[in-house]
Chains A and B, each alone.
Chain A
Amino acid sequence: MPGKQSPQTSASPYPDLLAGLLSFVVPGLGQIWQGWRWRRPGRLLKGVVLLLVLHGMFFYGQALGEWKNVFLPQYQQTLDEKFRIFNFPLPDGLANVWWRPAYAAQFWMGISAWPAVWNYCFPESRVFAHYQRSPGALPGNPTRWERDQDIKQFHKKINDLQLRPDMGKYWDVGLLYTMLAGVLNLLVIYEAYAGPFDSTVRTAPPNTASSADNP
């Protein structure tokens, strides 16, 4: 009965900020780290499974979209004036996420989705060539027209891709996989930080509870 037990005892190893950060960077890594540190093979295996499942979903989704469905565009930089919500001008980064909300979900997939941010910020030194390239982000000081042309060219490519007979709805399915992987990793990050959501299993196992500094 959860109500009759204290959700966290003095032996509880949570919250664990480092594990949360590790799972944020690489999904499942926080659980793997905890499993290894606390000698809990079940937790270590859980981390490995989460790592494989989430990366599998993310990369399979990208493959379905022919590696063109994860990107953060520079749309706002082509506009005459900043996009406004409730008359509040949004900064470039926020406005571009507003225009490409899928990336707000994909971002949480960690380092696998962050080349898009790198390519958005540093177009002169792109990582992995055209992988997650940012449409509109050009090296040097591009004019608004040049950015606009680059975005149009990119969208023509992905429109042609979506209209291809063998693509069909796979574009949408691929996007769904990548977004779901990112959103599910939010649960994984929080689980690494705060422990399993079932409060009765958040305590450390008996073999680690005896040591005050472990974890």
Chain B
Amino acid sequence: MPNAQIYWHLPILLLLVSLVYSAVRSDDWRQILTATWRWALYMVLMFLAPVFLILWFFSEIAPRWW
């Protein structure tokens, strides 16, 4: 897949956004780091994974049916 290496930026962006978002919620570093992982995981499972599944379905599965 051409340009596939740009997807390596995705986990980096996810972690950075989660880190900043968690950092503005608390001053306690243990809470910040825990929340960073939790938000990153949450975004992967609740947003990216469903989007990936929908796109995968329409590109790989659906074409076999029609």
Which residues in A have some Cβ–Cβ distance to B below 8 Å?
A: 40, 42-43, 45-46, 49-50, 53-54, 57, 168-170, 173, 176-177, 180, 184, 187-188, 190-191, 196-198, 201
B27 and A46 form a contact (CB under 8 A): yes
Partner of B27 from the list A42, A50, A173, A176 (CB cut-off 8 Å) is A42
Q: For B28, what are the chain A residues with a Cβ–Cβ distance below 8 Å?
A: 42, 201
A196 and B25 form a contact (CB under 8 A): yes
Query: Is B24 an interface residue, CB under 8 A from the partner?
Result: yes
Query: Is B13 an interface residue, CB under 8 A from the partner?
Result: yes
Q: For A177, what are the chain B residues with a Cβ–Cβ distance below 8 Å?
A: 9, 13
Q: For B9, what are the chain A residues with a Cβ–Cβ distance below 8 Å?
A: 173, 177
Apart from A46-B23, A173-B6, A173-B9, list 19 A-B contacts with CB within 8 A: A42-B27, A43-B27, A46-B27, A46-B32, A49-B19, A49-B23, A50-B23, A168-B2, A169-B3, A176-B13, A180-B17, A184-B20, A187-B21, A190-B24, A196-B25, A196-B26, A198-B25, A201-B27, A201-B28
Q: List 5 A-B contacts (CB under 8 A).
A: A50-B20, A180-B13, A187-B24, A196-B24, A197-B25
* Shortest distance between the CB of A197 and any CB in chain B (Å): 5
Q: For A40, what are the chain B residues with a Cβ–Cβ distance below 8 Å?
A: 27
Complex Cα spacing A168 to B7, Å? 12
Complex Cα spacing A176 to B17, Å? 12
In the complex, which residue of chain A has the Cβ closest to the Cβ of B30? Answer: A42
Query: Is B66 an interface residue, CB under 8 A from the partner?
Result: no
Complex Cα spacing A4 to B39, Å? 26
A45 and B29 form a contact (CB under 8 A): yes
In the complex, which residue of chain B has the Cβ closest to the Cβ of A49? Answer: B23
Given A168-B2, A176-B13, verify A53-B19 contact (CB < 8 Å).
yes
Partner of B29 from the list A42, A168, A184, A197 (CB cut-off 8 Å) is A42
Q: For B27, what are the chain A residues with a Cβ–Cβ distance below 8 Å?
A: 40, 42-43, 46, 196, 201
* Shortest distance between the CB of B62 and any CB in chain A (Å): 25
A188 and B20 form a contact (CB under 8 A): yes
Q: For B3, what are the chain A residues with a Cβ–Cβ distance below 8 Å?
A: 168-169
Partner of B17 from the list A45, A168, A184, A196 (CB cut-off 8 Å) is A184
Complex Cα spacing A176 to B6, Å? 12
Q: For A201, what are the chain B residues with a Cβ–Cβ distance below 8 Å?
A: 26-28
Q: For A46, what are the chain B residues with a Cβ–Cβ distance below 8 Å?
A: 23, 27, 29, 32
